[in-house]
Amino acid sequence: MFQKKMKKCVALILGTMMAFSTLAGCGGNGGAATDNNAPAATGEVSERTEPLQVSMFLPSRLPDALYTKDTLTFKVLAEKMNMDFDIETVVNAEAKNKFSVIVASGKTNDVMAGTLGDINKFGMSGAFLPLDDLIDQYAPNLKQYVVDNKEVLAQTAASDGKIYGIPMLTAVRTAMGYCIRQDWLDDLGMEAPVTIDDWYKVLTAFKNTDLNGNGAGDITPLLLDRAWENYFNNFADAWGIELNGNNDYWMVKDGEVKFAPILPETKEYLETMAKWYREGLIDQEFITREDTNNYHILNNKAGATCYWTGYIAGMNSNSEVLALDPDTNWQVIAPPVLTEGQPQKTFSQQAAVGGSAWAISSKVPEDKAIEIIKMFDYVYSDEGSMLFNFGVEGESYQYVDGVPEYTDLVTKSEDGLVTWIRSNGMQPLIGIRQLPEYEAASCANDDVRKQLFDYVENDYFYDINPTLVLTEDEQDKYDTVMSAIKIYVDEELLKFIIGSRPIDDFDGFVARIQEMGIDEAIALENQAYARYTSLSK
Amino acid sequence: MNRKKTFATELKNNKYLYLMFLPVFIWYVLFCYVPMGGMVIAFQKFDIVKGVFHSKWLGLENFRALFKDPYFFRLFKNTLFINVFGLIFGFPLPIILAIAFNEIRLKRFKKITQTISYLPHFISSVVVMSMVIHFLSPDGGLVNGIRGLFGLESIYFLQIPKYFKTIFISTGIWQGTGFSAILYMAALAGIPKEQYEAATVDGAGKFKQMFYITLPNLAPTIVVMLLINLGSILNVGHERIILLYNPAIYETADVFNSYVYREGIMGFRYSYAQAVTLFQNLVGFFLVFGANKITRKLDGTTLW
Instruction: Give average pLDDT by consecutive 10-residue segment, chain A, 537 residues.
Output: 42 41 36 38 58 95 92 95 95 88 89 94 92 96 94 91 95 94 96 97 96 90 89 96 94 96 97 96 91 93 95 92 94 96 94 93 95 97 96 93 90 86 94 92 88 95 91 88 92 95 96 96 96 84
- From A125, A480, A494, residue closest to B247, measured CB to CB: A494
Arithmetic mean of pLDDT, B84-99: 93
Among chain B residues, CA nearest to A101 = B48
Q: Is residue A285 part of a domain?
A: no
Q: Would you list the domain boundaries of chain B? A: 67-299
CB A487 within 8 A of CB A495: no
For residue A411, is it within any domain?
yes
Rounded to whole angstroms, the Cα distance separating B210 from B200 reads: 12
In chain B, residues with a C-beta closer than 8 Å to the C-beta of A483 are 263, 267, 269
Looking at beta carbons, which residues of chain A come within 8 Å of B250?
487, 490-491
Phi, then psi, of B167 in degrees rounded to 5: -60, -45
Question: Which pLDDT score is estimated for A1?
Answer: 39
Alpha-carbon gap, residue A456 to A436, rounded angstroms: 11
| Alpha-carbon gap, residue A138 to A43, rounded angstroms | 6
Q: What is the pLDDT of residue A215?
A: 87
The sign of the torsion formed by the CA atoms of B43, B48, B53, B57 equals negative
DSSP code of residue A382: H
What are phi and psi for residue B45, nearest 5 degrees? Answer: -100, 85
Contact residues, chain B, for A491 at CB < 8 Å:
247-248, 250-251
Q: Which domain holds residue A384?
A: 33-171+354-434
- The DSSP annotation for A497-521 comes to HHTSS-GGGHHHHHHHHHHTTHHHH
pLDDT at B291 over 90: no
Using 50, 70 and 90 to split pLDDT, how confident is the model at B227?
Answer: confident
CATH fourth-level superfamily of B67-299: MetI-like (1.10.3720.10)
Instruction: Kindly determine whether residue B156 and residue A516, on different chains, have CB atoms separated by under 8 Å.
Output: no
Shortest CA distance from A362: residue in chain B: B49
pLDDT at B216 over 70: yes
Q: Which residues contact A210 (CB under 8 A, 6 or more apart)?
A: A216, A218
Q: Has residue A250 been placed in a domain? A: no
What's the confidence (pLDDT) of residue B5?
67
Question: In this predicted complex, what is the ipTM?
Answer: 0.81
Q: For A473, which residue in chain B has the nearest alpha carbon? A: B45
Residue A265 lies in a domain: no
Q: Which amino acid, residue B295?
A: T
Task: Let me know if residue A196 belongs to a domain.
Answer: no
Q: CATH number of the domain that A368 lies in?
A: 3.40.190.10
Q: Which residue of A has its CA nearest to B66?
A: A480
Return the pLDDT at A45.
53
The whole-angstrom distance between B250's CA and the closest CA on chain A is 7
* Residues B142-162 pLDDT 10s: 999 999 999 888 899 999 999
Between helix A506-515 and helix A518-536 the angle, nearest 10°, is 80
SS3 B21: helix
| % of chain B beyond a pLDDT of 70 | 98
The number of distinct structural domains making up chain A is 1
**Residue A475 falls within a domain, yes or no?**
no
Q: Cβ contacts (< 8 Å) between B137 and chain A: which residues? A: 285
Q: What is the mean pLDDT of residues B171-180?
A: 93
* Residue A92, Ramachandran bin (φ over 0: left; ψ between -120 and 50: alpha; else beta): alpha
Q: How many CB atoms lie within 10 A of CB B133?
A: 19
